[in-house]
Amino acid sequence: MNKVINLREKFALFHDHWSPKVIGELNGQAVKIAKVKGEFVWHNHSDEDELFLIIKGQLKIELEEGMKILNEGEMLIIPRGVEHKPIAEEEVHLLLFEPITTKHTGEVEHELTQKKAERL
């Protein structure tokens, strides 16, 4: 399917935080968008790398090596197995790119853990 995906339109469809939505798939990878605000949980993905691309706002990601600050138009790839904790002081819109099988919070069970990503 050669369908153009408008990110603004997709972000307008939901308001919940820390609940990624699948907007596309390619080569076994999921393209997800999410709105985040506040602090997430420390976690890692033992078998998958994870890409964060900031569409709107500023995201801080705590790592053992220190804090990374991502602004609009910037991205960071978290290598598999690296513990990280995203923090958004104000609402952030982001795009995630990761294998379809990636668990939301890795092996960590938390009240924010999503078992299955909604498709938009």
How many domains does the chain divide into?
A: 1
Residue 69 in any domain: the answer is yes
Residue 106 in any domain: the answer is yes
DSSP state of 17: B
pLDDT digits (tens, 9 = 90+) for 41-57: 898 888 888 899 999 99
Residue 26 in any domain: the answer is yes
Helix (H, G, I), strand (E, B) or coil at 21: strand
Residue 78 in any domain: the answer is yes
Residue 115 in any domain: the answer is yes
**Residues 20-27: contacts with CB under 8 Å, at least 24 apart:** 20/96, 20/104, 20/114, 20/117, 21/117, 21/118, 21/119, 21/120, 22/117, 22/118, 22/119, 22/120, 23/119, 23/120, 25/100
- Classify 34 in phi/psi space as left (phi over 0), alpha (psi -120 to 50) or beta: beta
Residue 2 in any domain: the answer is no
Domain span holding position 39: 7-119
Positions of the chain with pLDDT under 50:
none
Residue 87 in any domain: the answer is yes
Residue 16 in any domain: the answer is yes
pLDDT digits (tens, 9 = 90+) for 31-42: 999 999 999 989
